[in-house]
């Protein structure tokens, strides 16, 4: 599949000029005349559509709508909120092909990955639906006779979601579905590089809310750039900010939110490594390494950036790796025969070329050279050759994250040294070890092993399931989204003590008589 009728896809997703804001910038029923945002597909360099940016006045109106909707939504029983999220998931199932196609075309990831991203949305809706009946608190034993203690969880209020271009819809849904069943309302600022997929999602959820007699303010969409993100982060009316993006952006958000004592969830940069031991199944390791490095053209926060390979198998694995790269098909991501699509834009291409130059200047040796691809099929100027460089672990370029398909490969002698190499970067998101030796696997997972939020054995660094809490440590931010008990970040804990006796004993045996 090389060509799509994007107009037909938009129509089936109920995206019309009004909610695309081609002219006046209609967003949640308010209009503005600020400069619009063009969405340019990296697939072919063509304009998909334009959206309007919210003005400060319109932003204030949107947050007011959200705040008003929260008053109704928080009093709606959680299982009923879960039922609405379930219906959203059903609508996503109906629109999976079209929404996945739009994700692929607007962002540039392969069609299979675009469809997989929509499946993640469906999965988190299923998870959140079950969670809506499981927002459990604890009971505690009181030291005072005739008293009962327990804890319960209440919604926070307005949750702000700032999402990145590389997962233009899935990461929003991770936050929104959980936040909704917890009783919160959401204000979403998508990446200005992928605004149209956000409009599609908003059209779907608004339809579900309307069918259930619920206000649109439960799910709000605001479009804009950096200044809008700063406004959202600094807004005292927004109880929680969940931000996904670069470490630089995350630090700015963290300071703004902390200065007003707000709450934040930060999912920032990754610099993920796979350790391949002499006891690895090399066929499994090869597939994990290649997909991790070139999937989404290296534009995942969980993309594999570094391979740390035992010296006994280094030359053999390097040969297999180079051979695998020679078989990669690069081109239109809507053609399912291709493995690798384009980078998001020309700025990303420039960063790719700069990183290659820095690597060479530090002494890196490229065993698969990188280049920008030209000619037929590469008209957008965003297609690049995935490349591999042999490096030393102390190179500075190896310790930075470049959102591009550049893979660094290096040797190690002992597992302890491999773990030190892996951990000796500022980021701490995802990690993996390839080994059939249980002692190596368990050591990697121990407290003296990987320092990342995600540590895998015999699978790669990318492709997290929604059932587990997702997030990392160090400059990755430290927040958690999606599964496990990540829902607690979207609620406030309240401890309750009930005195059902006819006396008033004080804690710690304190006496106070009148």
* Tokens 């739009």 belong to residue: 102
pLDDT at position 17, please?
52
pLDDT at 394 over 80: yes
pLDDT bin (cut points 50, 70, 90) of residue 513 is confident
Tell me which residues are annotated as active site. Answer: 267, 301
Handedness of CA 414, 419, 422, 426 (dihedral sign): negative
Of the candidates 304, 294, 402, the one whose C-alpha atom is nearest the C-alpha of residue 351 is 402
Q: What is the pLDDT of residues 42-61, one digit of tens each?
A: 999 999 988 989 999 999 99
Task: Check residue 514 and give its pLDDT.
Answer: 80
- Crossing angle of the two packed helices 111-131 and 78-94, in degrees rounded to 10: 160
**pLDDT of 16:** 67
What does the block give as tokens for 149?
A: 């203690």
**Across 398-424, average pLDDT:** 98
Mean pLDDT, residues 195-213 taken together? 96
Give pLDDT tens digits for 226-269. Answer: 999 999 999 999 999 999 999 999 999 999 999 999 999 999 99
CA contacts within 13 A on the Cβ side of 169: 34
Separation of alpha carbons 357 and 354, rounded Å = 5
Q: What pLDDT does residue 6 have? A: 83
With H, G, I as helix, E, B as strand and everything else as coil, classify residue 193. Answer: coil
Name the token pair of 22.
């081609």
pLDDT given for residue 15 in this prediction? 80
* Strand-pair partners of 47: 40
- What's the pLDDT at 19? 47
Task: Read off the tokens for 72.
Answer: 């109704």
The pLDDT of 397-405, averaged and rounded, is: 97
pLDDT of residue 397: 98
Look at residue 1 in the predicted model and tell me its pLDDT.
44
Per the CB < 8 A criterion, the answer to whether 53 and 241 are in contact is no
**N-term to C-term CA, the chain:** 84
pLDDT digits (tens, 9 = 90+) for 327-370: 999 999 999 999 999 999 999 999 999 999 999 999 999 999 99
- Domain segments of the chain as ranges: 6-268+477-493, 272-465
What residue spans of 37-95 are helical by DSSP H? 56-73, 78-94
What is the domain class of 272-465 according to CATH?
A: alpha beta
Residue 208, both tokens: 């579900």
pLDDT digits (tens, 9 = 90+) for 156-192: 999 999 999 999 999 999 999 999 999 999 999 999 9
pLDDT at 2: 53
* CA 116/CA 391 separation, integer angstroms: 33
For the domain made up of 6-268+477-493, the CATH class stated in words is alpha beta
Question: What number is the average pLDDT over the span 471-482?
Answer: 95
Q: Quote the pLDDT of residue 3.
A: 62
CB count in 10 Å sphere of residue 384: 25
pLDDT confidence band for 5 (50 / 70 / 90)? confident
Residue 33 has pLDDT above 60, yes or no: no
Average pLDDT, whole number, for the chain? 94
CA distance 294 to 300: 9
| Residue 14: per-residue pLDDT | 81
pLDDT of 28 > 70? The answer is no
Query: If you average pLDDT over residues 439-446, what whole number do you get?
Result: 98
Q: Are 338 and 331 in contact (CB under 8 A)?
A: yes
Instruction: Supply the pLDDT for residue 7.
Output: 83
In this prediction, residue 344 carries a pLDDT of 98
CB count, 10 Å around CB of 210?
11
Tens digit of pLDDT for each residue in 100-152? 999 999 999 999 999 999 999 999 999 999 999 999 999 999 999 999 999 99
């Amino acid at each position: 599949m090389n060509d799509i009728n994007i107009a037909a896809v938009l129509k089936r997703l109920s995206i019309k000029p009004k909610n695309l804001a081609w002219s006046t910038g209609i967003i949640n029923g308010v209009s503005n005349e600020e400069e619009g945002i063009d969405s340019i597909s990296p697939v072919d360099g063509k304009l998909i559509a334009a959206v309007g940016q919210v003005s400060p006045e319109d932003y204030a109106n949107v947050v007011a709508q959200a705040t008003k909707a929260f008053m109704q939504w928080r009093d709606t029983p959680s299982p009923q909120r879960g039922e609405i999220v379930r219906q959203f998931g059903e609508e996503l199932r109906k629109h999976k092909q079209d929404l996945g196609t739009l994700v692929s075309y607007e962002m540039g990831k392969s069609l299979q990955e675009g469809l997989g991203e929509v499946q993640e949305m469906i999965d988190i809706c299923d998870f959140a639906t079950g969670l809506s009946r499981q927002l459990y608190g604890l009971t505690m034993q009181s030291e005072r006779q005739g008293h009962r203690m327990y804890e319960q969880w209440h919604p926070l209020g307005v949750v702000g979601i700032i999402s990145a271009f590389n997962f233009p819809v899935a990461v929003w849904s991770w936050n929104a579905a959980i936040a909704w069943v917890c009783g919160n309302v959401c204000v979403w600022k998508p990446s200005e590089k992928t605004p149209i997929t956000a409009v599609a999602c908003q059209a779907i959820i608004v339809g579900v809310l309307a069918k259930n007699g619920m206000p649109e303010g439960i799910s709000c969409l605001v479009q804009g750039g950096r200044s809008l993100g700063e406004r959202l982060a600094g807004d005292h009316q927004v109880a929680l900010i969940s931000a996904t993006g670069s470490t630089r952006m995350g630090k700015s958000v963290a300071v703004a939110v902390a200065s007003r004592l707000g709450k934040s969830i930060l999912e920032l940069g990754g610099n993920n490594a796979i350790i391949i031991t002499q006891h690895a199944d090399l066929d499994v390791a090869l597939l994990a390494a290649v997909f991790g490095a070139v999937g989404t053209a290296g534009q995942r926060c969980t993309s594999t950036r570094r391979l740390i390979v035992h010296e006994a198998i280094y030359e053999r694995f390097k040969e297999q790796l180079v051979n695998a790269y020679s078989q990669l098909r690069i081109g239109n991501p809507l053609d399912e025969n291709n493995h690798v699509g384009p980078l998001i834009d020309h700025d990303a291409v420039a960063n790719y070329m700069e990183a290659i130059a820095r690597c060479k200047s530090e002494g890196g040796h490229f065993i698969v050279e990188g280049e920008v691809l030209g000619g037929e099929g590469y008209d957008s100027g965003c297609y690049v050759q995935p490349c591999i460089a042999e490096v030393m672990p102390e190179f500075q370029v190896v310790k930075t994250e470049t959102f591009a398909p550049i893979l660094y490969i290096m040797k190690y002698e002992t597992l302890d040294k491999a773990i030190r190499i892996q951990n000796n970067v500022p980021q701490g998101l995802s990690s993996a070890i390839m080994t059939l030796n249980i002692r190596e696997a368990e050591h990697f997972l121990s407290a003296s092993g990987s320092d990342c939020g995600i540590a895998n054995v015999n699978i790669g660094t990318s492709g997290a399931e929604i059932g587990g809490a997702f997030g990392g440590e160090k400059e990755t931010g430290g927040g958690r989204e999606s599964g496990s008990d990540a829902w607690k970040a979207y609620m406030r804990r309240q401890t309750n003590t009930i005195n059902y006796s006819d006396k008033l004993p004080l804690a710690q045996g304190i006496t106070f008589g009148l």
